[in-house]
Chain A
Amino acid sequence: MGASQSARTEHEFQDLADRTGFSLEQIGNLNKRFRQLSKNEQTLSRQDLASISALDNNPLRAQIINAFFDKRNLRQNEVGTVQVIGFEEFLMVMSHFRPAAMHITEEEREKLRREKLRFVFNMHDTDSDGTITLEEYRRAVEELLSKAGTIGQETAKAIADAAMLEVASTTRGKMEPDEFYEGITFENFLQILKTLDIETRMHVRFLNMDTATMRCGK
């Protein structure tokens, strides 16, 4: 459609680049991918994501797809889900997987950690109440181990229970027998995953800001 269209998209892209922190080139690549997935529509629906063959064998398939449509990940301070997302929302979700730049301050690093861990937390906390209850955690572990073969529900439950115990004892210490530990809050979550180095591990190389970006494969 000519120069005006591309000029408009350029401007949009620049705007998006400023807001999400991606480079123009990366946004261009992601846009291509977005259009590929949404079959050149303006919005992406769950079916579009569900049709990606690479996700078929992934035990976290459903959760990942849900994460794209979860309002909490769209930095809108709302809860609930949306049915379709536009390119901007797609970028918002993807921005959680940017790696840390080399020289960032401790403050920025902490902020990045919280952001990434918040994403993971939201994936576990399916009812959006701000805590991960035992049931939710159990379901998460079950899903995780679902593709792993004949493990059985019992083991998954036992693992989730043990993990929950660990969180409670690390964060709450002593508890009276009649006290009830409601669930893992975000602060507790941060505390127990302190040693996981998430700001360096949770990234997709494609979205690296500093290195040469790679081409989008099919």
Chain B
Amino acid sequence: MPAFSCAFPGCRRDLLVIVLVVFVGIGLPIEASAPAYQSHGTEGSYLTNVTNTKKAFPVLAVNYKHVRQPFEIALWILLALLMKLGFHLIPRLSGVVPESCLLIVVGLLVGGLIKVIGEEPPVLDSQLFFLCLLPPIILDAGYFLPIRPFTENVGTILVFAVIGTLWNTFFMGGLLYALCQIESVGLGGVDLLACLLFGSIVSAVDPVAVLAVFEEIHINELVHILVFGESLLNDAVTVVLYNLFEEFAKVGTVTVLDVFLGVVCFFVVSLGGVLVGAIYGFLAAFTSRFTSHTRVIEPLFVFLYSYMAYLSSEMFHLSGIMALIVCGVVMRPYVEANISHKSYTTIKYFLKMWSSVSETLIFIFLGVSTVAGPHAWNWTFVITTVILCLVSRVLGVIGLTFIINKFRIVKLTKKDQFIVAYGGLRGAIAFSLGYLLSNRHQMRNLFLTAIITVIFFTVFVQGMTIRPLVELLAVKKKKESKPSINEEIHTEFLNHLLTGVEGVCGHYGHYHWKEKLNRFNKTYVKRWLIAGENFKEPELIAFYRKMELKQAIMMVESGQLPSALPSTISMQNIQPRAIPRVSKKREEEIRRILRSNLQNNKQKMRSRSYSRHTLFDADEEDNVSEVRLRKTKMEMERRMSHYLTVPANRESPRPGVRRVRFESDNQVFSADSVPTVHFEQPSPPSTPDAVSLEEEVPKRPSLEADIEGPRGNASDNHQGELDYQRLARCLSDPGPNKDKEEDDPFMSC
């Protein structure tokens, strides 16, 4: 944008800040004066109806009432996103303060401004929160949940989620009740059940806050999955306890039967949620089997089925969060095997987008609601709550870890325990639950104030200090490792080896059951849920094909023909996975690519770091160039069609997540560590393509003769390295931690 380029660096940033301020300045008065417009509008129309005097035809009229609601919603979202944009332009700030804190501060400011103008700031409506803002975040988390660490630690996670939350609730509720009994505090009217209810609200670790803070500190996988898994699974406990205590508080007395029913309720809520999620997950998987002709709406099925799962389980007062997680986890492997690559990308980006917006809005609204809400402040109560939260969390974690470590192979160290305890943040869910408390509770305002204080404390103090503490304690960080074929092979190898050794021991352990599940999955489930012949591929192959694909794309790119790829229209008739019939036009294009490729590489011939050639004995030298060329062409075609409409294969075991949460985006290969692969096929290829292309081959020798003998490895030269980097940038999914200007020019066709 040449119009906005400035001579000195700070200028652009200042410009944006000015724009933001202007926006805010315009936005607020509009909202504030909305009621005025509304009344004006109705009045005007009434008058015209009654008097019917002749007026000049209104050339320009303002009818705000008409668009009021969508306008306000859009404006809020836009403001929130502009704020988010603004933060990242201020470099030092985003490094020190987590985004969530900044957003809350913005919310406070906005709320304050609105109040100053004289209007009522909007409060975070619980219905809006639970039905609109929360589901995208949870779905995003659930869909991209890293399964292996989760299942390996599921026992620990469940113990923390269930027993940890129960402990927190009773410890806090009990002690607060004891506090209220003390005369000097002046809160004599609070009974035990109310305290327990308060305890249940404020004791649950919040997934939104955890996600927001933890994504920025890149902690090691184990601790991350423990805290995050706990925050997801404790929803069932929270739901049950909250409803239970609400009911009891109404009645006033508790019997043994009630307690027993409460326990039963817990199981019903959690298992029911899981069941509902699983049902919808399988439905989604089954539906995706038939979408090969209507690829455009595939992402919608994923979103809608998941949302239905959430709503259905909320309808029955089951755990909606668990339903959503289970739905995402269950449907993912099957859906990804069925849908096209583009649909997969769409799903990924939409989920990221929605959850990002939701999170931003949640934090801003938290800030605004703080300014708005009725407050009742009691120093002792609030301070005690905050302290008790910390204390109970620490005690709970230490106590539970002591027991859990007896059953774990990889024990939790003290550092891990510290981070797990310190990372137990409270967030918007606690606030919304508190807001839902009916006004009958005389302590409602006090509770709300205390909840808000706890949230602020955890998000600000703990959120800001956790990063320096992690550095200080030298806690193990996430391993930023690139995927390596050898690792994949050996992971698979180890699985089978350990299953075998368990068999020899006669011990039906972990691996045995996992193997049984896999086999059941392959023989029965996949048959029903995956279209075509895709269900037989093991993970290793999928991983490898993904690598192949990238190299193929790189090879095409190195041909430097920007529009080398045929348009998708001609591909739609081609069955996925079969070697496609090539149209004459495409054949020409492909030959052109290869010819130019060869010519380019001829000029850039030099001994590369490693050549495939050296793996072979001398006598295979002859076959190398010619056969390789033929095979390369065929492979390229296959891969191009494969890429565009073929079902997106199951992703490599460590997918890139929305904001690079769990693993680095492993699609980024650095040029020197992963060499290109060429494929040999000594036997003549038996596909129709190759036959038609073979006649081209005899024309080749003249070109080949120019290629210096064994250095005929066309593609993996210096050019290859550069292209690899370009390719890597093309395919990596941008997250806030990586360069944001990456678009996907390649995939935009």
Contacts and interface: CB of A to CB of B under 8 A. Distances in A.
Interface of A: 30, 33, 36-37, 49, 52, 54-55, 57-61, 64, 68, 94, 97, 99, 102, 120, 123, 134, 140-141, 144-145, 148-151, 154-155, 158-159, 161-170, 172-181, 192-193, 195-196, 198, 200-208, 211-212, 214, 216-218
Given A145-B540, A203-B498, A212-B406, 19 more contacts: A54-B503, A54-B512, A68-B504, A140-B493, A155-B544, A159-B485, A159-B544, A161-B677, A170-B673, A173-B610, A177-B614, A181-B610, A192-B486, A192-B487, A193-B486, A195-B484, A202-B497, A207-B505, A211-B406
12 contacts: A33-B506, A149-B537, A154-B679, A165-B612, A165-B677, A166-B486, A175-B609, A202-B494, A204-B498, A204-B509, A206-B505, A217-B507
Contacts of A195: 479, 481, 484, 487
Contacts of A36: 506
Interface of B: 406-407, 409-411, 479, 481, 484-487, 489-494, 496-512, 515, 519, 536-538, 540-541, 544, 547-548, 607, 609-615, 672-675, 677, 679-681, 710-711
A158 B678 CA distance: 8
Contacts of A57: 515, 519
Contact of A120 (B409, B493, B510, B610): B493
B476 to A, nearest CB: 11
A202 B506 contact: no
B485 A166 contact: yes
A167 B677 CA distance: 13
Nearest to A207: B505
Contacts of B493: 60, 120, 140, 144
B269 to A, nearest CB: 31
Given A55-B503, A208-B409, A177 B677 contact: no
B409 A205 contact: yes
Nearest to A54: B503
A102 B500 contact: no
Contacts of A30: 505
Contact of A204 (B486, B501, B672): B501
A163 B679 contact: no
B681 A154 contact: yes
B80 to A, nearest CB: 39
Contacts of B672: 169
B507 A178 contact: no
A159 B490 CA distance: 12
Nearest to A123: B497
A214 B507 contact: yes
Contacts of B491: 196
Nearest to B498: A204
B498 to A, nearest CB: 6
Nearest to A58: B500
Contacts, number: 193
Contacts of A203: 409, 498
A206 B507 contact: yes
A193 B490 contact: yes
A134 B677 CA distance: 15
A216 B503 CA distance: 11
B677 A158 contact: yes
B705 to A, nearest CB: 18
B501 A144 contact: no
Given A159-B540, A165-B675, A217 B508 contact: yes
* 10 shortest interchain CB distances as A-B pairs: A54-B503, A149-B536, A206-B507, A64-B500, A148-B538, A174-B609, A163-B485, A162-B677, A60-B496, A169-B610
A49 B504 contact: yes
Contacts of B502: 54, 204, 206
B506 A151 contact: no
A7 B613 CA distance: 64
Contacts of A155: 541, 544
Nearest to A175: B610
Contacts of B547: 162
B414 to A, nearest CB: 12
Contacts of B609: 169, 173-175
B226 to A, nearest CB: 16
A175 B611 contact: yes
Nearest to A170: B673
B531 to A, nearest CB: 16
B255 to A, nearest CB: 38
B607 A159 contact: no
A180 B620 CA distance: 13
A19 B505 CA distance: 20
A202 B498 CA distance: 7
Given A59-B496, A200-B409, A168 B677 contact: no
A204 B505 contact: yes
A58 B679 contact: no
Contacts of B505: 30, 33, 94, 204, 206-207, 216
Nearest to A205: B509
Contacts of B610: 165, 168-169, 172-175, 181
